[in-house]
Amino acid sequence: MNAAKAALRFHCESNVGRVRSENQDAWRADASAGLFLVADGMGGANAGGVAAKAVAELLSSRVAERTAPLQKRRAKALPEALQKTIQEFSAELRDRANADARLRGMGATLVLALSRGRSLHVAHLGDSRAYLLEGGRLKRLTRDHSIVAVMLELGKITPEQALVHPLRHKISRFVGMDGKAVSDVATVKPKPGARLLLCTDGLTNMLSDEKIQAALSSEAAPEGACRKLIEEANAAGGQDNVTALVADLP
């Protein structure tokens, strides 16, 4: 699961974990386009896997196609283009689910990163996350779209309580949701040599940010960092599918 371009190395590992029987995570990467995506399926039977695969395969292609013309002079239009493309695709996925009883209720979380020049554009829906490691320090780029995240921000629960709260899996925004799926889009300018991590909640529910930072910092290559993260998540219980995509930015 490895590919590269001249100044950008990446690797992704996706694992079923120690409890689930099926892996409903999906990912896609196009190093030449600087595009990376991770999705986590939601829905009964195999519907979640169908949704995540659709996001990885179809949405990634559409994003690449629509953002390719937006070069340096039109770079300011990228965040809006990402939001619009994701919103339209979410409506299409919802309509597909509503038309097929076997797929009704399916959806997927999404975290997507697009590297253009010195800028990194990150879009997300749900609780799959993006992190940036710079100078050995880990910075989280996304905010979970979940009921528990809101409760945590309001001070209603502690971080420790959030990890075991009965509503911790209730997502407030996702691809395929009813209504408009308004993704958050952040634009940052990483320092040369920064390391990007995209991951599903199967990783972040098992490992603290401190342990994620240590794993990312301890391995020189993206391959080693991914494998270490997966191994540690499974060693901590492996309660869910876990996917980690690591890219070393130029």
| Residues in the chain, pLDDT under 70 | 1-7, 45, 72-74
Whole-Å CA distances, 228 to 217, 222, 224, 243: 11, 10, 6, 12
Nearest to 126 by CA among 93, 97, 81, 168: 168
Q: What is the pLDDT of residue 164?
A: 83
Q: Which residue has the tokens 């599903």?
A: 200
Q: How far apart are CA 146 and CA 173, in angstroms?
A: 7
Q: What are phi and psi of 31, to 5 degrees?
A: -65, -35
Q: Is the CB of residue 115 less than 8 Å from the CB of residue 192?
A: no
pTM: 0.94
Q: What is the pLDDT of residue 43?
A: 82
Q: What is the pLDDT of residue 2?
A: 46
Going along the chain from its start, the domains and CATH numbers come out as: 24-227 (3.60.40.10)
Q: How far apart are CA 61 and CA 202, in angstroms?
A: 25
Q: What are phi and psi of 16, to 5 degrees?
A: -70, -20
Q: What is the pLDDT of residue 3?
A: 43
Structure tokens at 158: 């502690």
Give exposure, 98-116, as e/b (b: 16+ Cβ within 10 Å): eeeeebebbbbbbbbbbbb
Q: What is the pLDDT of residue 4?
A: 39
